[in-house]
C-alpha cells in the first residue's frame, strides 16, 4: 500500500482550487479519518506500506507555517487563520451549496409567513433551511406554513448545527494533536519514488 500524505492546510487549499469542492469541515474530517489510521494500515499490510509526503515542492510552505502557528492557539486560532485566508483568497464556500431561488411573489409570501420569526438571514444555511420549508408547503398548497412551523424548522437546524460544530471541534482537536504529537510524526516516514518502487518490486517478486 502506498499512501500519499499531505498537510491538512494543503488539502484545504487543494479542495478549493477545484471547480467542484466540498465544505471545509468535510475536508478536515476526511483528512483526520484517513491519516489517523496510518498505524492500522501498516499493521494490516504487515509492513508492506510506504508513505510519500507530498508538500508540492514547498509551494504552500507559507500557508502550512501559518496553519501550524495558528494551531498553537487551538481551534480558535485555526478558525481565525482560515477566516482571514478565505477573505483573502475567496476560498471556503462549497460549490455544492445551492441557494434557494424564489419568484418575487413567493418572496412576498415568504416574508408574510415569517411574521415575527427571528432568524439569521446572514447564515446562508439557516436561511436555506427556512426557505426550503416554506416552499415545500407553498408550492404544494398555495399557502405557506405558519410561523410556528418555521420556528420548529429553525430550531431543528440550530440543534443540528450545534452537533455539527461539536463534531468539527473534535476533529480539529485531533488534527492539532496529530500535527504536534512526536509519536505520530515519527510514523510519517517519507519514501522516495525510487524507494517505493523497490519495495513494490520486492513485494511482487
- The CA distance from 14 to 52, in Å, is 17
- Name the 3-class secondary structure at 3: strand
- Residue 190 DSSP symbol: B
Domain ranges of the chain: 2-96+166-204, 104-161
Amino acid 125: pLDDT: 94
- The CA distance from 176 to 70, in Å, is 10
- DSSP E strands, the chain: 2-5, 50-53
- The CA distance from 87 to 102, in Å, is 28
Write out the chain's pLDDT in tens, 205 residues. Answer: 999 999 999 999 999 999 999 999 999 999 999 999 999 999 999 989 999 999 999 999 999 999 999 999 999 999 999 999 999 999 999 999 999 999 999 999 999 999 999 999 999 999 999 999 999 999 999 999 999 999 999 999 999 999 999 999 999 999 999 999 999 998 888 999 999 999 999 999 8
Task: Look at the block and give the residue holding cell 501559518.
Answer: 66
| DSSP string computed for 36-91 | TTHHHHHHHTTT--EEEE--GGGTTHHHHHHHHHHHTTHHHHHHHHHHHHHHHH--
> Smallest Cα–Cα separation from 38: which of 17, 53, 55?
53
Amino acid 205: pLDDT: 86
Amino acid at each position: 500500500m502506498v499512501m500519499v500524505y499531505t498537510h491538512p492546510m494543503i488539502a484545504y487549499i487543494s479542495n478549493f482550487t477545484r471547480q467542484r469542492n466540498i465544505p471545509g469541515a468535510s475536508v478536515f474530517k476526511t483528512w483526520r479519518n484517513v491519516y489517523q489510521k496510518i498505524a492500522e494500515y501498516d499493521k494490516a499490510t504487515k509492513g508492506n506500506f510506504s508513505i510519500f509526503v507530498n508538500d508540492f515542492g514547498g509551494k504552500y510552505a507559507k500557508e502550512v507555517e501559518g496553519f501550524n502557528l495558528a494551531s498553537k492557539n487551538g481551534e480558535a486560532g485555526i478558525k481565525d487563520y482560515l477566516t482571514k485566508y478565505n477573505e483573502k483568497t475567496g476560498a471556503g464556500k462549497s460549490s455544492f451549496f445551492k441557494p434557494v431561488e424564489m419568484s418575487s411573489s413567493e418572496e412576498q409570501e415568504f416574508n408574510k409567513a415569517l411574521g415575527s420569526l427571528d432568524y439569521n438571514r446572514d447564515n446562508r444555511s439557516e436561511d436555506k433551511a427556512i426557505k426550503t420549508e416554506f416552499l415545500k408547503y407553498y408550492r404544494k398548497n398555495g399557502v405557506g406554513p405558519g410561523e410556528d412551523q418555521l420556528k420548529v424548522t429553525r430550531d431543528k437546524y440550530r440543534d443540528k448545527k450545534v452537533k455539527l460544530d461539536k463534531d468539527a471541534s473534535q476533529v480539529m482537536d485531533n488534527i492539532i494533536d496529530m500535527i504536534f504529537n512526536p509519536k505520530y510524526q515519527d510514523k510519517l516516514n517519507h519514501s522516495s519514488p525510487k524507494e517505493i518502487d523497490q519495495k513494490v518490486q520486492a513485494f511482487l517478486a
